[in-house]
Amino acid sequence: MRAAAPLDQGPAATMRQAAADLLAALTGPGREQAGHPFDDAGRRWIEYRPRPRPGVCVADLDRTARKAAHRLLATALSPPAYAQAMTIMALEEVLDRREDWRRGRHSADYWVAVFGDPIRDDRWAWRFEGHHLSVTMTVVDSVISPAPIFLGANPARVDHGGQPVSRPLAPEEDLGHALLAALDPAGRRVAVVADHAPGDVHSGTRPRYPDRIEPLGIAATTLAPAARSLLDRVVHLYLDRLPAELAAREADRVFGGDLHFAWEGPTRPGGRHYYRIQGDDLLIEYDNTTDDGNHAHTVLRRPDGDFGDDVLDRHRRDHH
């Protein structure tokens, strides 16, 4: 496993200050709900379903603290990814209306937690999470480990007159279909590893995989130039969820190893489908497999580096 190269103080310092500003804006029970020890069991957590979760709820924050929470989230996401996240949060109101307001979903039902002291500690982390959104960042010795990042959408598409009004994960879906279409018949037979799509991304909400997901599908090294270019575009799309400097660092790491592309389910547009891209310490998953292909999940994970495992391993080697 290759450890992440150290960054300068820019991104880590910005993130550190934003987390400190959030904690400073909280008082009383909110401060206690948001702040946790770094070794708290709740740090290794990903939950994109509408379930209870650790942290303080954005709905319970005043305007100053709410803005501080959003500024912290923005330190982890590029401007396009932040726009996707805001759209995903707003879709909770759309979904609640579709469900006749029965479940009381709302766009402020998102939770933020900070693990450790961002100002004093050399190891700390934070998470911003709710239905269809989970962003976790771990900072060790001023090196940011940026995974996992989950973005989902329900409904994935809202139309008027056959034209999309809202489609926050359109690039992830369209580029995946374009990559599949760019394969020749022999390549497609290798890439399609199952006739039926799974019910969810294979990694699910598990903080660590009980069994490693094997890199099935077609190897990037066998792709024709047009298909390889599309594969690279899909990978960059997910990495570009991060701010530019972090995305560039992750790209240098990812494109130095092998990549595989696998598809499950029908190949025609509009049906329930799934794809994944795997590489050295990289797992990208996309599914649109429920509600007749109108409910999407996407995730960027690092099987060896989720929740800062890579930078924590290096920290232990260097300091202990």
pLDDT digits (tens, 9 = 90+) for 166-179: 999 999 999 999 99
In a domain, 3, yes or no: no
In a domain, 313, yes or no: no
Q: Are residues 131 and 177 in the same domain?
A: no
In a domain, 153, yes or no: no
Q: What is the pTM of this model?
A: 0.94
Task: Tell me the two tokens of residue 251.
Answer: 């790209």
In a domain, 286, yes or no: yes
Percent composition of the chain: helix, strand, coil (DSSP 3-state, to 5) = 40, 20, 40
Q: Are residues 91 and 38 in the same domain?
A: yes
Count of domains observed in the chain: 2
Q: Are residues 182 and 297 in the same domain?
A: yes
Q: Are residues 14 and 142 in the same domain?
A: yes
Task: Compute the residue count for the chain.
Answer: 320
Q: Are residues 13 and 140 in the same domain?
A: yes
Q: Are residues 111 and 182 in the same domain?
A: no
Q: Are residues 188 and 80 in the same domain?
A: no
Q: Are residues 136 and 74 in the same domain?
A: yes
In a domain, 96, yes or no: yes
Q: Are residues 137 and 222 in the same domain?
A: no
Q: Are residues 174 and 288 in the same domain?
A: yes
Q: Are residues 38 and 119 in the same domain?
A: yes
Q: Are residues 120 and 209 in the same domain?
A: no
In a domain, 198, yes or no: yes
In this prediction, residue 212 carries a pLDDT of 66
**DSSP at 60:** G
Element (H, E) at 226: helix 225-239
Taking each helix axis as running N to C, give the angle between helix 225-239 and helix 244-254, from 0 to 180 degrees, rounded to the nearest 10. Answer: 140
Strands 35-36, 143-145: parallel, antiparallel or unpaired by DSSP? unpaired
- The residue segments making up the domain with residue 76 are 9-147
CA distance linking residue 31 with residue 61, whole number of Å: 10
Tens digit of each residue's pLDDT (9 = 90 or more) over 202-261: 999 998 866 667 789 999 999 999 999 999 999 999 999 999 999 999 999 999 889 999
